[in-house]
Amino acid sequence: MVIVGSGFSGIAMAARLAQQGITDVVILERADDLGGTWRDNRYPGCACDVPSHLYSLSFAPKPDWSRDFATAQEIWDYLRDCARRFGLLDRIVLGADVVDARWAGDHWSVAAADGREWTAAALVLAVGGLHVTKRPDIPGLGSFAGPILHTADWPADDGLTGARVAIIGTGASAVQLVPALAARVEALTVFQRSASWIVPRHDRSWSPQRQRRYARMPWTARLARWATYARLEVRVLGFGRWDRARQVAEARSLAHLAAAVPDPTVREALTPRYALGCKRVLLSDDYWPTFAEPHVTLVTEPIQAVEPTGIRTRDGVLHQVGAIVLATGFDPAGSYSRMTIVGLGERTLSEAWTRGRATHLGIAVAGFPELYLLLGPNTALGHNSVLLQIETAIDHVLDALRRADRSGPHVVTQAAQARFGRWVRRRTRQTVWASGCDSWYLDEQGRNVTLWPASTVRYRLQARRSRDRDYRRA
Ligand code: NAP
């Protein structure tokens, strides 16, 4: 098998195969180290907003997380440790930038940019959704005289200490970055297009006693994981039609805002204008309080252009800064479109997806035999850990591989894919994501191509088996 990508999905897939004694596996990684998003995102303050208990693989528990919400570095270390523990290091080919993969009748032929090639009976795209960075289309951005940094492309020495810095964007990355950067810059100007819903994070460190207890009695860690899972899973109700759940969360968030920001004008500007949950709900204790600091300014006036010395807003004001940070997110479609994937009838994945990223359960695509996606379209979550989804999809792939061993390569049927698409559309209409806000969850046509519109239990029940009736011989 060829796995493209060595983030959580790729490492977990290879680890599960290793557990089953399947070692004829190669993981192709474009970068010079494994780790996916946790290798790439090195911005100050970067951490996970999903509790550590759940942001780890169910079959590779870690009793000694340092805190409830682990830092990017600690998660990256965990992932590298998993690769070591499951003997995967010598199966990872670093610097292999996959640009082309073709179905050749009974196998995949995969090529990297430098001309190296691999063949495999099955191809798993574990490329993640959030690594092709989105640079805003702001006039004059290229003319800026100082450095422009993106949160997902952070240099080891950013040179920002004591500088006057602008941050564009107020999403999940920005709420972590803003307090961390505010602590060491001369002035910080945050350009907000939409205010974010934020709830308190209440992060706490894990005491040595707690870590020892989890190590000595793993069942206590499993119990804590289950309790965390249940606490997060009920939040799925808030994304559906249960307005009451959402109103409670909104009231909690606004109370947090009122306590954090004494200035009524700033508070008003930081108040979100859409239903909670329509965009990702953010967790932070220190983002809103940062705006009470004298050297931190919130700008809500739209950006007109970037000039060599700063950012000019529509009201004519030039905000002079020495550096600009883009916390403007990612292009989820870019993960796939940067590769040419050719399936049956010489059709490319881009051609198959001209009318949206259609899949079966976010895992298989009609016309592409023995091709599997992990964390594919419509499998991400707004309420719980995506690792749960990845593990379910891996079970599906393992099931499909057993069928291929028994009776040759298969491909998902058009009917199964269409049925899944109809179900996603129907379900999405009943969720808060269809309530009118603009988010990266939706594509250019306003279709939900990102999120799983139900509970993780439902995904597990629906997707963990690869049902014969949904597949046909290729
Ligand atoms: P994001 O959520 O897409 O936020 C991008 C921000 O940039 C938004 O505030 C957006 O404003 C703003 N923006 C984009 N283009 C702009 C423009 N031309 N002018 C002004 N503002 C502009 O990106 P992100 O914060 O990097 O997060 C992306 C995803 O990564 C998250 O949703 C989450 O899934 C993941 N993430 C997770 C964690 C974690 O702790 N697990 C941490 C960071 C990121 P609008 O809202 O108005 O579009």
Q: Locate tokens 């298989």: which residue?
A: 364
Q: Is 313 in the pocket of ligand 1 (CB under 6 A)?
A: no
Q: Is 6 in the pocket of ligand 1 (CB under 6 A)?
A: no
Average pLDDT, rounded, for the chain: 96
Instruction: Please determine whether the domains at 2-132+331-473 and 141-202+235-326 fall in the same fold group of CATH.
Output: yes
Compute CA 264 distance to the chain's CA centroid, rounded to the nearest angstrom.
34
Average pLDDT over residues 44-70: 96
Q: Is 380 in the pocket of ligand 1 (CB under 6 A)?
A: no
Q: Edge to edge, what strands does the sheet with 164-168 contain?
A: 148-150, 323-326, 164-168, 187-191, 296-299
Q: Is 327 in the pocket of ligand 1 (CB under 6 A)?
A: yes
Best residue among 148, 203, 280, 438 to mutate for probing ligand 1, ranked by most atoms within 8 Å of CB: 280
Average pLDDT over residues 169-191: 98
- Determine how many CB atoms are found less than 10 A away from the CB of residue 46: 22
pLDDT tens digit sequence for 226-259: 999 999 999 898 888 678 888 999 999 999 999 9
- Cα(168) to ligand 1 centroid in Å equals 10
> Using CA atoms, how far apart are residues 433 and 383, in angstroms rounded to an integer?
13
Is residue 463 scored above 80 in pLDDT? Answer: yes
Which ligand 1 atom minimizes the distance to the CA of 47?
40
Q: Where are the domains of the chain?
A: 2-132+331-473, 141-202+235-326
SS3 letters across 417-464: HHHHHHHHHHHHHCCHHHCCCCCCCECCCCCECCECCCCHHHHHHHHC
Compute CA 281 distance to the chain's CA centroid, rounded to the nearest angstrom.
14
Q: Is 401 in the pocket of ligand 1 (CB under 6 A)?
A: no
Q: Is 174 in the pocket of ligand 1 (CB under 6 A)?
A: yes
Is residue 436 scored above 90 in pLDDT? Answer: no
CATH C-level class of 2-132+331-473: alpha beta
Average pLDDT over residues 26-46: 96
**Reported confidence tier of residue 279, pLDDT bands at 50, 70, 90:** very high
**Cβ atoms of residues 361 and 396 within 8 Å:** yes
Q: Locate tokens 């940062």: which residue?
A: 290
Write out the two tokens for 8: 């959580």
Is residue 438 scored above 90 in pLDDT? Answer: no
* Strand ranges, E, within 185-331: 187-191, 198-199, 282-283, 296-299, 303-307, 310-313, 318-320, 323-326
pLDDT tens digit sequence for 81-122: 999 999 999 999 999 999 999 999 999 999 999 999 999 999
- Cα(306) to ligand 1 centroid in Å equals 20
What phi, psi does 403 have (nearest 5°)? -65, -40
- Which tops the pLDDT comparison, 332 or 46? 46
Share of the chain above pLDDT 90, in %: 92
Closest-CA residue, ligand 1 atom 17, reads: 136
| Homologous superfamily, domain 141-202+235-326 | FAD/NAD(P)-binding domain (3.50.50.60)
Annotate 366-402 with b (16+ C-beta within 10 A) or e (fewer): bbbbbbbbbbbbbbbbbbbbbbbbbbbbbebbbebbe
**Cβ atoms of residues 311 and 319 within 8 Å:** yes
Is residue 129 scored above 90 in pLDDT? Answer: no
pLDDT for the residue numbered 77: 98
pLDDT for the residue numbered 333: 82
Angstrom distances, CA of residue 352 to CA of 299, 361, 420, 426: 42, 16, 16, 22
Q: Is 377 in the pocket of ligand 1 (CB under 6 A)?
A: no
> Using CA atoms, how far apart are residues 271 and 118, in angstroms rounded to an integer?
52
Helices (H) and strands (E) in the chain, counts: 15, 21
- Which tops the pLDDT comparison, 355 or 28? 28
pLDDT tens digit sequence for 289-326: 999 999 999 999 999 999 999 999 999 999 999 999 99
- Determine how many CB atoms are found less than 10 A away from the CB of residue 163: 18
> Using CA atoms, how far apart are residues 390 and 8, in angstroms rounded to an integer?
8
